[in-house]
Chain A
Amino acid sequence: MLQADGQMKTARDIAIATLLGAEEWGIATAALIVEGCIMMRKCHMNTCPVGVATQDPELRKRFTGNADHVVNFFRLITQELREIMAELGFRTVSEMVGQVDYLETRDDITHWKYKNVDLGPVLYKEPTSMYTGLYNMETQDHGLDNILDWKLLEAAKPALEQGEHVKAEFPIRNTDRTTGTLLSNEISKKFKALGLPNDTLHFKFTGTAGQSFGAFNARGITLELEGDANDYFGKGLSGARLIAYPPKESIFVPEENIIIGNTSFYGATEGEAYIRGKAGERFCVRNSGAKVVVEGVGDHGCEYMTGGLAVVLGGTGRNFAAGMSGGIAYVYDVKGQFDANCNKEMVDLEVLTDEDLVVLRGMLTNHYEYTKSNVARFVLDDLENQARNFVKVFPRDYRKALELNKSKVAVKK
């Protein structure tokens, strides 16, 4: 199913999109304008003067939109589309999809910028055969019936039904994607946001995990991976614990090698993870609550982070903390290169306080317990000393928010 959108306002736009191959059409701006949007372009300031892009009750008072108008708008578009279809000789939309030969290029364009544009490649009509049509004729088989998670779900039955602890082991390959997500869905259906008690389910995997390993995994799940993983490791983590370390027989130095992919913990909200090795780029991007330990990251680490904790026991790439408005990072900066690699637009770099050390010790202890990391051992044994090598990355907005919270709590007392 091809969905097209982009400034669609009339049935003519939809007809053209359909003739070019679309079967679903997205209309957003036009529908907003029907409800009163005047394209002020101040949506991000929360000062929408016509009460559309806001929840502020004062501004909402100015809202003049009407659901009936929106319904009418779409009704009129479909009516007009029928008229166009009739003109063109189509009885159904399916007949219309992809029929680019019903489109003609204008021959009266004189503007120098557009005169020489050749629309030929756009208007090329793919020849159809017995086996493929121009429009959506069969549902796509995503192969969901055979994924690894069904096995996990089977193994997890005692936990879901009686709350018993479950431990199991499975091999994993890179075609096994979103491991644990389907299982987490079942957990959240039954236990909502609370999930199961920590560590109720403990699954160990051996091999290379596919993309989005542990995506959106709920509390109560612990996934242990001996091997390595692809991108989006821990995406949207929602309370689970993830552990990753290289195979026991491997001879490379873990803290110098990348074992999980890029954009790990993308938008994670809760949970913990311990990575015995380095991560790729955009580590913890948009993390808002997960606590993660890793032994080195690529570029743009902790990008747009808004909460949670990242402990980086090794080097970072450039542009660390870009857009980081919340959360904290502790970076183990033995070589003293971190300052040059950090984007300080929104963060301050500081020395660890005593409270920080307590938190760090806790994370490192866990990291050693789950992955037997040599780095963690080394730092733990010499923490008093090694504390000097750590840099605390503290976003200014976060500092303000924490202080505001503190003063509110103080007032309450």
Chain B
Amino acid sequence: MGKPTGFLEFSRELPTKRPVQERLHDYKEFIEKYTPHKLNQQAARCMDCGVPFCHSGCPLGNVIPEFNDAVYRQSWKEAYDILNSTNNFPEFTGRICPAPCESACVLGINQPAITIEEIEKHIIEIAFEKGFVKPVKPNVRTGKKVAIVGSGPAGLAAAAQLNSAGHSVTVFERDDAPGGLLRYGIPDFKLEKWVIDRRIALMEEEGIVFTSNSEVGVDVSVNDLLRQFHAILLTGGSTIPRDLLVPGRELKGIHFAMDFLKQQNKRVSGRWDKSSDPILATDKNVVVIGGGDTGSDCVGTSNRQGAKSVTQFELLPKPPENRTQMMPWPTYPMVLKISSSHEEGVERQWAVATKEFLGDGNGNLRALRIIELEWKMGEGSRAHFSEIAGSEKEIPCERALLAMGFLHPEHTGLIGDLAVELDDRGNVRASEKSYQTNIQKIFTAGDMRRGQSLVVWAISEGRECARKVDEFLMGYSLLETRDDNLIAI
């Protein structure tokens, strides 16, 4: 809680950022740390609500008022213990989470919310500094073997939990290093990769085995998995991107955002194979099609690569600046977000659709033909759009990055071979209650089950699924769960 009158005395302050001009020259994180004084002040703002809405805002059920109070009292080990009881990877969420906890913060009703995410980040970094973060080795091994396919946040969380329950976990990652989108998706300037390496090293010390460059369905056969492991977790993510199939799509210079971002991450970590085709924004007019977080990452990366210009298009109309009746507190507000990447330079346009990719005669992309849209509310509160006649424009562009969201996981390979059932959206079917697929020993969690979502949700899914797997293997489980249903009326 901190100070009872803290919220009246101190206003919300985020740590300073390196100036735009400076940070465009490298791929390092640019958010500074709080001074101890500021950290204490920000933690003091927490009101320790009788009904803490932040708990339910957070997909992990983080026990926020308690760790805020511990930070205020400078009881660092206590803060770490509280945070660690619900979150396996606060160092990830503390950097990149959109903080639905802050959207649900009660103070947010009439004042800026508590800076929960920054406090979370400081708790874990201080914990690492002071050596509180130690590998958790189980006392007894159960002799059960679990295979986890996909080493993104869902797979990692499940691995950590299952290992702590005593099972022997092997994580299969098809890329050259574990981390999933954390490593090859999120740019370095949002999340530097030594943070992931630090955690993976801890997990390896705890006894978890990571095998990289092992794609299940290609390098490892599913039958081997089925035979050698008592349970299998599918946490391969939702990787099939949405495409824009308009005339000119085959022109050179149009790429999926993920290919672009992943390549840059590999370049930064020195793992990029120079022989493959580079996708660079340098000296090009870049258009990012898609106004979400992936698009924003493309903007930041393009600027760092020295793009000539960066434009971002979004299909939907410009979101409101503040909450509306449709998104009241404590829901997550779909309001206009100006990310750090936007601060670095971009021209944004809303309610536009790309009609055609125009070539230069040699098979290269030269421009986009766009048209403006008018959005109306239809019956049943479903919005629909119509094109505004005569608003067509040609936008010069040599590099188009498609960041329009992800549809569902890849169906060939792993999923095809296992023949697990899919739901209507193309994700692996499993209920939120059991995380179990139609094949008894196969479970799924994270984006692969719920479709594209947030890292914090992936971690939550990994934890909950781990508990279900533990129950499946042992008949009961002592692993934590977010909704402890002692009173089920």
Q: How far is the CB of B373 from chain A (nearest CB, A)?
A: 36
Q: How far is the CB of B121 from chain A (nearest CB, A)?
A: 25
Q: B106 contacts the other chain (Cβ, under 8 Å)? A: yes
Are A114 and B110 within 8 A (Cβ)? Answer: no
From B8, B51, B489, contact of A47 by CB (8 A): B8
Q: B5 contacts the other chain (Cβ, under 8 Å)? A: yes
Are B4 and A45 within 8 A (Cβ)? Answer: yes
Q: Find chain B residues with CB under 8 A from A59 CB.
A: 8
User: Which residues in chain A, 80-135, are within 8 Å of chain B measured between CB atoms?
Assistant: 111, 113-114
* Complex Cα–Cα for A49 and B49 (A): 10
**15 additional A-B residue pairs with CB within 8 Å, beyond A42-B49, A49-B7, A111-B489:** A38-B51, A38-B109, A39-B50, A39-B51, A40-B49, A40-B51, A40-B106, A41-B51, A42-B47, A42-B50, A45-B4, A47-B5, A49-B109, A50-B110, A62-B110
Are B110 and A49 within 8 A (Cβ)? Answer: yes
Most buried by B among A40, A41, A59, A62: A40
Q: Find chain B residues with CB under 8 A from A113 CB.
A: 487
Q: B107 contacts the other chain (Cβ, under 8 Å)? A: yes
Q: How far is the CB of B487 from chain A (nearest CB, A)?
A: 8
Q: How far is the CB of A147 from chain B (nearest CB, A)?
A: 46
Q: A58 contacts the other chain (Cβ, under 8 Å)? A: yes
* Complex Cα–Cα for A38 and B109 (A): 10
* Complex Cα–Cα for A18 and B487 (A): 29
Are A42 and B4 within 8 A (Cβ)? Answer: yes
Are B109 and A40 within 8 A (Cβ)? Answer: no
Are A47 and B47 within 8 A (Cβ)? Answer: yes
Q: B488 contacts the other chain (Cβ, under 8 Å)? A: yes
Q: Find chain A residues with CB under 8 A from B50 CB.
A: 39-42
Are B489 and A40 within 8 A (Cβ)? Answer: no
Are A114 and B489 within 8 A (Cβ)? Answer: yes
Q: How far is the CB of B348 from chain A (nearest CB, A)?
A: 33
User: Which residues in chain B, 433-489, are within 8 Å of chain A measured between CB atoms?
Assistant: 487-489
* Complex Cα–Cα for A49 and B47 (A): 9
Which residue of chain A is the closest to B52 with respect to CB atoms?
A: A40
Which residue of chain B is the closest to A59 with respect to CB atoms?
A: B8
Please list 17 pairs of residues, one from A and one from B, whose beta carbons are closer than 8 Å in the complex, sorted by A's number: A38-B49, A39-B50, A39-B51, A40-B50, A41-B49, A41-B50, A41-B51, A42-B49, A42-B50, A47-B4, A49-B7, A49-B47, A49-B106, A49-B107, A50-B110, A59-B8, A111-B487
Q: Find chain A residues with CB under 8 A from B48 CB.
A: 42
Q: How far is the CB of B437 from chain A (nearest CB, A)?
A: 29
Task: Give the interface size class of chain B.
Answer: 10 to 19
Q: How far is the CB of A396 from chain B (nearest CB, A)?
A: 21
Q: Find chain A residues with CB under 8 A from B8 CB.
A: 47, 58-59
Binding site for A on B (CB under 8 A): 4-5, 7-8, 47-51, 106-107, 109-111, 487-489
* Complex Cα–Cα for A111 and B49 (A): 30
Q: Find chain B residues with CB under 8 A from A45 CB.
A: 4
Q: Find chain B residues with CB under 8 A from A50 CB.
A: 109-110
Which residue of chain B is the closest to A43 with respect to CB atoms?
A: B50
* Complex Cα–Cα for A63 and B290 (A): 40
Q: Find chain B residues with CB under 8 A from A49 CB.
A: 7, 47, 106-107, 109-111
Which residue of chain A is the closest to B488 with respect to CB atoms?
A: A111
Most buried by A among B107, B109, B487: B109
User: Which residues in chain A, 1-45, are within 8 Å of chain B measured between CB atoms?
Assistant: 38-42, 45
Q: Find chain A residues with CB under 8 A from B51 CB.
A: 38-41
Most buried by B among A47, A50, A113: A47
* Complex Cα–Cα for A111 and B488 (A): 7
* Complex Cα–Cα for A50 and B47 (A): 12
* Complex Cα–Cα for A47 and B48 (A): 11
Q: How far is the CB of A37 from chain B (nearest CB, A)?
A: 11
Which residue of chain B is the closest to A63 with respect to CB atoms?
A: B110
* Complex Cα–Cα for A111 and B486 (A): 11
* Complex Cα–Cα for A376 and B49 (A): 54
* Complex Cα–Cα for A42 and B5 (A): 11
Q: Find chain A residues with CB under 8 A from B5 CB.
A: 47
* Complex Cα–Cα for A64 and B329 (A): 14
Pairs of residues from A and B, 7 with the lowest C-beta to C-beta distance, nearest first: A41-B50, A45-B4, A39-B51, A40-B49, A47-B4, A40-B50, A62-B110
Which residue of chain A is the closest to B110 with respect to CB atoms?
A: A62
Q: Find chain A residues with CB under 8 A from B47 CB.
A: 40, 42, 47, 49
Q: How far is the CB of A55 from chain B (nearest CB, A)?
A: 15
Q: How far is the CB of A6 from chain B (nearest CB, A)?
A: 18
Are B106 and A38 within 8 A (Cβ)? Answer: yes
Which residue of chain B is the closest to A58 with respect to CB atoms?
A: B8
* Complex Cα–Cα for A58 and B488 (A): 42
* Complex Cα–Cα for A58 and B5 (A): 12
Which residue of chain B is the closest to A51 with respect to CB atoms?
A: B110
Which residue of chain A is the closest to B50 with respect to CB atoms?
A: A41
Which residue of chain B is the closest to A111 with respect to CB atoms?
A: B489
Which residue of chain A is the closest to B489 with respect to CB atoms?
A: A111
Q: How far is the CB of A50 from chain B (nearest CB, A)?
A: 7
Q: How far is the CB of A38 from chain B (nearest CB, A)?
A: 6
Most buried by A among B51, B110, B489: B110
Q: Find chain A residues with CB under 8 A from B4 CB.
A: 42, 45, 47
* Complex Cα–Cα for A282 and B470 (A): 58
* Complex Cα–Cα for A58 and B51 (A): 23
